Amino acid sequence: MHPIDEYIQLETRRQFFGRGAKGLGLAALGSLMGANALPAGAATGAASTGRPDVPHFKPKAKRAIYLFMSGAPAQMDMYDYKPKMADWFDKDLPDSVRKGQRLTTMTSGQSRFPIAPSIYKFKQYGQSGAWISDLLPYTASMADDLAIVKTVHTEAINHDPAITYIQTGRQIPGQPSLGAWLSYGLGSMNNDLPSFIVMNATWTAKRDAQALYNRLWGSGFLASKHAGAMLRRTGDPVLYLRNPAGVSDAVRQRMIKSVNRMNERLYKEVGDPETHTRIAQYEMAGRMQHSIPDLVDLRDEPKHILDMYGPDVHKAGTFARSCLLARRMMERDVRFVQVFHRGWDQHGALPRDLPLQCRDIDQPSHALIQDLKQRGLLDDTLVVWGGEFGRTVYCQGKLTKTNYGRDHHPRCFTIWMAGAGIKGGVVHGETDDFSYNIVQDPVHIRDLNATILHTLGIDHERMSVKHQGLDVRLTGVEQATPIWPIMT
Amino acid sequence: MIERRKSIGRFRLARGVGVVLAGWAVCIFASPGSAAVEFARDIRPILSDNCFACHGPDAKHRKADLRLDTEAGLLAVRPGDSPRPAAVVPGKPDQSLLFQRITHADPDKRMPHKSSGKKLSPAQIGLIKRWIEEGATWQGHWAFITPTRPKLPDVGNDPWVRTQIDRFVLARLKAKGVQPKDEAERRALIRRVTFDLTGMPPTVREVEAFVNDKSADAYEKVVDRLLASPRFGEHMTRYWLDLARYGDTHGLHLDNYREMWPYRDWVINAFNANKRYDRFVIEQLAGDLLPNATLDDKVASGFNRAHVTTAEGGSIKEEVYVRNVVDRVSTTATVFMGLTAGCAVCHDHKFDPLTMRDYYGLFAYFNSLDGNPMDGNRKDPAPVERVPTAEQKQRIKTLNAQLAQVDADIRGKVAQVKYVEPVAPSEAEPPKPVEVVWIDDAAPGGANLQGNTPWQWVTKDKHPVFSGNRATRRQAKGLSQHFFDGAKSPLRVGKGDKLFAYVYLDPKDPPKEIMLQWNSGQWMHRAYWGQNVIPWGADNSTQRRPMGKLPKAGEWVRLEVDAQHVGLNPGALINGWAFTQHDGTVYWDKAGIVTMTDQKPAFDSLKRWVVYERSLPKPSMAASHAAVAAIVKLDDAKLNDAQRKQLTGYFIEYVYSGSRETFEPLHKRQADLKRQVTDIEKSYATTLVFKELAKPRDAFILKRGEYDQRGDKVGRATPEFLPPMAEGLPNNRLGFAKWLVDPSHPLTARVAVNRYWQQLFGVGLVKTSEDFGSQGEPPSHPQLLDWLAVDFRESGWDVKRMMKQLVMSATYRQSAKATPAQYKADPENRMLARGPRFRLDAEMLRDQALAVADLLVEKIGGPSVKPPQPDGLWFAVGYSGSNTVRFKADTDDKIYRRSVYTFWKRTSPPPQMTAFDARSREECTPRRERTNTAMQALLLMNEPQYFEAGRRLAEAAMRSGNNPKARVAFMIQKALKRPATARDFDDLLGDHAFFQSVYLKDPESAKALIAVGESKPDASLNPGELAALTMVASTIMNSDEFVTKP
């Protein structure tokens, strides 16, 4: 049995807390401790406030979800329709297109660069007439909710630097991640849950998946409390959340009370305000022991909602389950949720693996947007979908009519955004016939991050922290501009 | 030559600056708290933060040709076609451009320009105005001027003062009208200083001894004891590993295992041996370049190999090379000079006078590593050194002594044999078939071992072995084999000879087929058992003979093959043997030939032997006897005495039938010892080191820091704004390292002592311990910092002395008890009006828990260890093909080692450490944050090892006393190092009664509770009582008092 399910069943059996009392809150704890035990200020929790100057202006979005496709999805097989390539099968990519572009050393040694046209059919959808491939029927059906950006670009050409770059603003480790910046800047809206939660979904492509790194949701040089809390698919949903075996909730509450009483006494003796903060943190820990199981307990989800997300929703750790959990987090005002889905690195056997990957994400992404929308949450929630770079139109490895692979391509790739602050039914930017170079409206990954920050009420230029003598920003030192045309 | 000249010019410049500055130094240092505005303290930080980005050192991006970071730029009339007035006119704010523009009415003209997002506060504008009014005295940046020993502040005969340090602190406090605290209570004090010098708590006995020691030097004795403890080195190393970005994996992409722990052990030993800091610096930056560099020196040079590396498919070598060097330069600058050099990778530094040329001048010192920039996903990407442990060294020493003994024995016995050439050599007796064992525990001499995977030798303890100490084992999917050729003494095949080998098939995993193959110059002789699935050679010929069914599995079976049956006819020489299989698990042992042909003929006549040797295609002796091989070929008459003696000696030892019985056992023993030596040497740990290319790589300025945008070629050079390298130093890393520790260097000593201060007081005298540049915070006590820096340097860079000096001060020994208002007024304790009190670091917390539970296993050094962590953390992020994708916890003692030995996977570092602000070690970390979070509370309450520690504490309490009060008192004493008070009992006895009521009624929960952790609960104790008391122990171990340095 899955540990989380097991936990829920155990809780039910024990009936320590009826469902109504699950969110045993501060008030209840306070009364356990006696009226005077609670220090002033502890009630708000230390993690709840952001930076005083933030938001810089009225935000469109209060929270956000980032669906991250790690490995780099092939844009020309999904969104960037290139019909002319049909005539280019197995012909060499013209040098005039490549323009000496640097290649990874996986294909720089290839004697030729034969073009592999997408084998997938594309149709136009919605008012915008967005071209979307048959791999994504559900996503296609919500074309008018999305702003599709086909011209995102980066400089990094390998996974580790590229994903570190888009997540932290720098290719080498050490900087805070996007979510950490948001937690630091905006603070938390829910005292009982972390402000930044990360999920790491399972995937079905059959090849080795690229690694992820804790730094991708790390706090860099910011305080470690801003790091993303990993909601795990095995064991405790949050590290060390569950009591040791044999420790019931009543015993735990009594112990927290006891610890805090000792600390309160020590505070009177020594006077260090950190002792008070610790009292508040122990209270929050106690609350999290209920709020998180409550968050992951899906028994209150009706069948029609579960069905929306597709059959995978019944399996722990899937992208579908993660999307449903992300919606539940939005309901609970978690500030930022990031779902990592791996397996998109189709160097070979793309026709075998890409449909599997698309199937993983298509219906759940659609369900997430529709579910948020029907609850009115999409009005103040931003959703972003995308990877770390794109893939080449030319084939890596052996090209046949039915099989091909694609190498890394930093010069253009497709992402989409939806929800608060974003215009629906927009396609932004254009690439050349080869999906190789951008011909109109380039969007650097810095611009993308500036857009996300802006939507949440943050001016990316003003959101800086002094570190090693520099004003460090998520968007770095070079020019970055939000993608105004897709923003409301 | 060009560089040398440049240096001289620079020296003049630096001296000039010094003269200008002499005046201000007195002013800033002599009157702490003076009301006068001081440029260095008050104005430069404002200008740096708000103006330097456009009007600073970066010439390329400088606006309006206005420069505010130099004296000339601020105060001189600006040159040009039509000279413009100075930016600052002393005494006249209204005539000063600087003041005009920061107060300009037009928001478009007001500075800082609105596009910068910067804004000056009215207070800052006021300060600038006052500074101009007071005469606009300019001062250089304090940190770039060599410190001199300042005069001690006069604080009278204040009894609070214990050391010179205290004079500086007290002077500042007095100026502010603040009283320092008295000395902390002894129990708090010894707990604090023991944590600070060893990273561990004191024992109860140590505490009580100190409390009861009435001698005047009681505290000093404690300090001396702690400094002499090997725990000191482990503790100091823990901080250094953050700086050195030490980890046990590469850190990028696959993030495979990377072996470097001998470097970590070097650091521990360096601290424990109290290595001078200047040597510590030199050996780490250039140990490999020292004359007659020792293995230790080379290991130390691993400092600049510890950075993250990659072998990601697709990476461009040149790009990775540049990244690696940039990391080395930036880390070196940060760690030793407190400079944020990284900025100058792409452009001249915006705030400090570090140009791109300076940066790439440093780059040129560190770019010539003799090794591939890509790590190959190997644990030992070259250059590496193999490093024996003390234990291994001892074993080798013993074995070598034994070998020497055997050698001496042989030599002695050779000398005793009086060989006389027989008049009539005896006719050989008619030969009888004998079994000649060729392979047993080892392949024959000269054999070149090969295979699909290396030869796997297994021993009796875990595997079947037929003969001797070992057998070979092979587990295969499909076709697989191990074999050798090139044996020095081939098997000589005679008529009717049989080849044999012993085989054991694993009954659980039998092969489809096994095959033996022999090499007679060619691999053309094969015999197989089982299915005919290995397709080599013409079927059913001497090239592939079927021998019937597979032998019985689960027992040793002797296989025999007639040599002629596989085409090995009399006279053939076999030099190679292959053990081949398809699928399954197969063991092989003892193999050879049953023959009537003498394999290594014994001769009773030297002459006959020489004739025989000459008949061989090449002489039979091993390479080590090449001299004898040469002599054998010479005409007997031409031999001199020495040669004759050598030949005879060899003959007696190896060939002479009269002495074979004497020497054969000795030779076997010799071979056995040699093999043991080789085996141990092969198991040495490796560690990454620095090694310079014979011909240095060229270095170039890289435009915008891009690896492929080469600009001017640059030579090795230290930055222009710092004192020049002394004459006579080599212009390489060694010279660079020596330049760093030259007494003229303004930064090295300051940066080091500031970090020691930070370690003890939580915040450095310079808070930004990583940045002493103009964007860093100025020191809270500049004189004290300089005094410490000079004292450190002049003491011979004596680290233990410095640490002692700091902890002996009254400043350090103050009580941390204060009013909330006092804490609020100075939350970071920058004024030092109370003792340092803050939450223990991750490693100290865990070590403390293990220590009070008597679980800690103390052993210095060795491979990193993996205490348990929640399942799936590595797997959730790891590359499927990485060798660290799955975490497997260690067992036994290894999980209770000090945290400095915990295995550090850099893309998923140990959660017990990161939850408490340890960083990933992907880059240099000069200081950690210190947060206070709910996640930490969850960890301390629920992490199995912490919880287990609580149970162990409870067990000890139960064994020591038989009532709840005594047990609680025991636990308070053991955990908090003080006697329990009435309030403790008030707090905890009621809880204990509650827990007891729960667990006595619910023995199942109690048993589950006390079973948490790897150690077994004490079965003699009542589970319900133990569970209840464990909860009280866990309560105490979660208290602020427990997790905080008092």
Q: In Å, how far from its chain's centre is CA B669?
A: 38
Pick the last residue of a domain from B597, B631, B657: B597
Higher pLDDT, A342 or A22: A342
Residues B130, B70: one domain?
yes
Report, as an integer, the average pLDDT of B960-970: 96
pLDDT of residue B23: 31
A163, A241, A254, A259: best mutation site toward chain B, by most B Cβ within 10 Å?
A: A259
Q: What is the pLDDT of residue A70?
A: 96
Range of the domain at B110: 2-140
Cα four-point dihedral sign B298, B301, B306, B311: negative
**pLDDT at residue A24 is higher than 70:** no
Tell me which residue of A486, A487, A488, A470 sits closest to A169, measured CA to CA. Answer: A470
Which of B350, B911, B937 has the CB atom closest to A282's CB atom? B937
Rounded to the nearest integer, the mean pLDDT of chain A is: 88
Statement: residue B424 has pLDDT above 90:
no
Minimal CA–CA distance to B669: which of B441, B435, B464? B441
Least confident of A352-356, A359-363, B299-303, B463-467: B463-467
Domain-located, residue B933: no
Mean pLDDT within A260-274: 94
B104 shares a domain with B190 = no
Q: Which residue of A has its CA nearest to B913?
A: A224
The band of B50, judged by pLDDT with boundaries at 50, 70 and 90, is confident
Q: What is the CATH number of the domain that holds B585?
A: 2.60.120.430
| Complete DSSP assignment for A22-61 | TT--HHHHHHHH-GGGSPTTGGG-TTS---TT-SSS--S-
The pLDDT score that the predictor gives to residue B81 is 67
Chain B residues whose beta carbon lies within 8 Å of the beta carbon of residue A289: 938
Task: Please give the residue of chain A at the shortest CA–CA distance from B878.
Answer: A211
Does B513 lie in the same domain as B440?
yes
- Mind telling me how many Å the CA of A158 is from chain B's nearest CA? 6
A250 and chain B in contact, CB less than 8 A = yes
* Residue B363 domain flag: no
CA B156 to chain centre: 48
DSSP-derived secondary structure for B152-166: PP--TT-TT--SHHH
**Residue A206's closest chain B neighbor by CA?**
B880
Confidence at B140, pLDDT banded by 50, 70, 90: confident
| Inter-chain touch B943–A173, beta carbons under 8 Å | no
Both B466 and B574 in one domain: the answer is yes
Chain B interface includes A230 (CB < 8 A): yes
Specify whether B460 is located in the same domain as B584: yes
Which domains are present in chain A?
1-38+244-300 (no CATH), 39-94+111-234+316-458 (3.40.720)
Q: Which comes out higher in pLDDT, residue B64 or A297? A: A297
Residues 6+ apart with CB under 8 A from A266: A275, B1039, B1040, B1041
Q: Which residues of B touch A240 (CB under 8 A)?
A: 870, 911, 935, 938-939, 941-943
Q: How confident is the model at residue A220 (pLDDT cuts 50, 70, 90)?
A: confident
Residue-wise pLDDT for A43-84, tens only, equals 333 345 788 999 999 999 999 999 999 999 999 999 999 999
Q: Which of A27-36, A397-406, B205-214, B311-320 has the lowest mean pLDDT?
A: A27-36
User: Considering only A139-153, A274-288, B67-81, B397-411, which range has the smallest mean pLDDT?
Assistant: B67-81
Which residue did the predictor score with more confidence, B110 or A261?
A261
pLDDT interval class at B431 (50, 70, 90) = low
pLDDT at B370: 96
B583, part of any domain: yes
pLDDT tier, A42 (very low <50, low <70, confident <90, very high otherwise): very low
Which tens digits make up the pLDDT trace of A452-478? 999 999 999 999 998 877 789 999 988
Residue B496: phi, psi to the nearest 5?
75, 10
Query: How far apart, in Å, are the Cα atoms of B957 and each of B125, B798, B976, B1006, B1042?
Result: 64, 43, 14, 17, 17
> Between vectors from CA A413 to CA A409 and to CA A415, what angle results, nearest 5°?
150
> With 70 as the cut, is the pLDDT of residue B675 above it?
yes
Q: Is residue B198 part of a domain?
A: yes
Q: In this predicted model, what pLDDT tens digit does every residue of B819-828 receive, in sequence order?
A: 988 998 898 9
Looking at the fold, whether B455 and B578 belong to one and the same domain comes out as yes
Confidence of residue B777 (pLDDT cuts 50, 70, 90): confident
Cα-based distances in Å from B542 to A122, B300, B567, B576, B958: 64, 59, 5, 16, 78
Q: For A410-419, A455-464, B487-496, B680-689, which range has the lowest pLDDT when averaged over its residues? A: B487-496
Q: How high is the pLDDT of residue A44?
A: 34
Q: Kindly write down the DSSP assignment for every residue of A70-94, as one continuous string.
A: TT---GGGTT---GGGGGGTTPBPP
Residues B447 and B584 grouped into a single domain: yes
Within 8 A of B874 by CB-CB distance, chain A residues are: none
Decide if B632 is inside a domain. no
Is residue A208's pLDDT more than 90?
Answer: no
Average pLDDT over residues A33-41: 33
- Whether B123 and B218 share a structural domain: no
Q: Nearest residue on chain B to A221, judged by CA atoms?
A: B929
In the beta sheet, which residues pair with residue A385? Answer: A67, A416
Statement: residue A119 has pLDDT above 70: yes
Confidence category of residue B600, pLDDT binned at 50, 70, 90? low
Which residue do the tokens 């030869």 mark?
B455
Number of domains in chain B: 4
Residue to substitute from B325, B933, B985, B1030, interface A, most A β-carbons within 10 A: B933
Q: Hey, is A476 helix, strand or coil?
A: coil
Are both B568 and B437 inside the same structural domain?
yes
Nearest to B1039 among A236, A259, A274 (CB): A259
Tens of pLDDT, residues B526-544:
999 999 999 888 888 999 9
C-alpha B728/C-alpha B473 separation (Å) is: 60
Instruction: Give the number of C-alpha atoms closer than 13 A to the C-alpha of residue B419, restricted to the C-beta side.
Output: 25
* Residues of A with Cβ-Cβ distance to B352 under 8 angstroms: 469
Contact indicator for A236, A229 with CB cutoff of 8 Å: no
Angle, helices B733-740/B356-366, rounded to nearest 10 degrees: 120
Q: Does A2 touch chain B (CB under 8 A)?
A: no
Instruction: Assess A247–B contact: CB distance below 8 Å, yes or no.
Output: yes
- Is the ipTM beyond the 0.90 threshold? no
Distance separating alpha carbons of residues B936 and A278, to the nearest angstrom: 9
CB A341 within 8 A of CB A25: no
Q: Are residues B96 and B199 in the same domain?
A: no
Using an 8 Å CB-CB cutoff, list chain B residues near A470.
340, 343, 350, 775
CB contact under 8 Å between A158 and B314, yes or no, is yes
The nearest CA of chain A is from the CA of B343 a distance in Å of 8
Residue in this structure with the two tokens 């599997």, named with its chain if needed? A356
Q: Is A109 on the interface with B (CB under 8 A)?
A: no
| B87 and B223 belong to one structural domain | no
What DSSP string runs through B840-904?
PPHHHHHHHHHHHTT--------S-B-----TTHHHHHS-TT-TTSS-----GGGGGS-GGGB--
Residue of chain A minimizing CA distance to B935? A285
> What's the whole-number mean pLDDT along residues A256-278?
94
> Is residue B884 situated within a structural domain?
no
At residue B25, the pLDDT reads 31
Q: Tell me the chain A residues in contact with residue B984 when contact means C-beta distances shorter than 8 Å.
A: 262
Which residue, among B86, B81, B80, has the nearest Cα to B100 in the 3D structure?
B86
Chain A, residues 262-291, CB within 8 A of chain B, namely 262-263, 265-267, 269-275, 277-278, 281-282, 284-285, 288-289
Burial per residue of A15-43, b for 16 or more beta-carbon CB atoms within 10 angstroms, e otherwise: ebbeeeeeebbbeebbeebeeebbbeebe
A104 and B327: CB-CB below 8 Å?
A: no
Q: Do residue B838 and residue A274 have CB atoms under 8 angstroms apart? A: yes
Question: Nearest CA to CA, how far is A109 from chain B (Å)?
Answer: 10
Q: How confident is the model at residue B151 (pLDDT cuts 50, 70, 90)?
A: very high
Residue B195's pLDDT is what? 98
CA-closest candidate to residue B628, choices B666, B618, B413: B618
**Residue B997 falls inside a structural domain:** yes
End of a domain among B169, B196, B228?
B228
Residues 292-351 (A) with a CB less than 8 A from some CB of B: none
For residue B340, the model assigns a pLDDT of 86
The answer to whether the CB atoms of A173 and B922 lie below 8 A apart is: yes
For position A124, what pLDDT does the model report? 97
Mean pLDDT rounded to a whole number for chain B: 90
3-state helix, strand, coil in chain B (%, to 5): 45, 10, 45
Q: Determine the pLDDT at residue B427.
A: 56
Name the residue in chain B with its Cα closest to that of A201. B876
pLDDT at B988 over 90: yes
**pLDDT, tens digit (0-9, with 9 covering 90-100), for B254-308:** 999 999 999 999 999 999 999 999 999 999 999 999 999 999 999 999 999 999 9
CB contact under 8 A, B343 and A273: no
* CA distance to partner chain B, nearest, from residue A371 (Å): 28
Q: What pLDDT score was predicted for residue B453? A: 87
Confidence at B428, pLDDT banded by 50, 70, 90:
low
SS3 of residue B560 by DSSP: strand
Min Cα–Cα distance to chain B from A480, Å = 14
Helical spans, DSSP H, in B616-747: 626-633, 641-650, 660-682, 733-740
Helix (H, G, I), strand (E, B) or coil at B691: coil
CB < 8 Å from B in window 175-194 of A: 194
**Mean pLDDT lowest for which of A53-62, A91-100, A323-332?**
A91-100
In this structure, the answer to whether residues B582 and B439 fall within a common structural domain is yes
φ, ψ (nearest 5 deg) of residue A125: -135, 150
Helix pair angle (A178-186, A445-455), 10° resolution: 30
**Residue A1 pLDDT level (bands cut at 50, 70, 90):** very low
**Residue B172 clears pLDDT 50, i.e. is over it:** yes
Count the alpha carbons within 13 Å of B459 in the hemisphere toward its beta carbon: 2
pTM: 0.79
Q: B383: cis peptide before it, omega within 30°? A: yes
Q: Hey, how many other C-beta atoms are within 10 angstroms of the C-beta on B323?
A: 23
Last residue of one domain, picked from the residues B170, B199, B228 = B228
Say how far apart CA B154 and CA B164 lie, in whole Å: 11
Domain contains B120: yes
The stretch B165-172 carries a mean pLDDT of 97
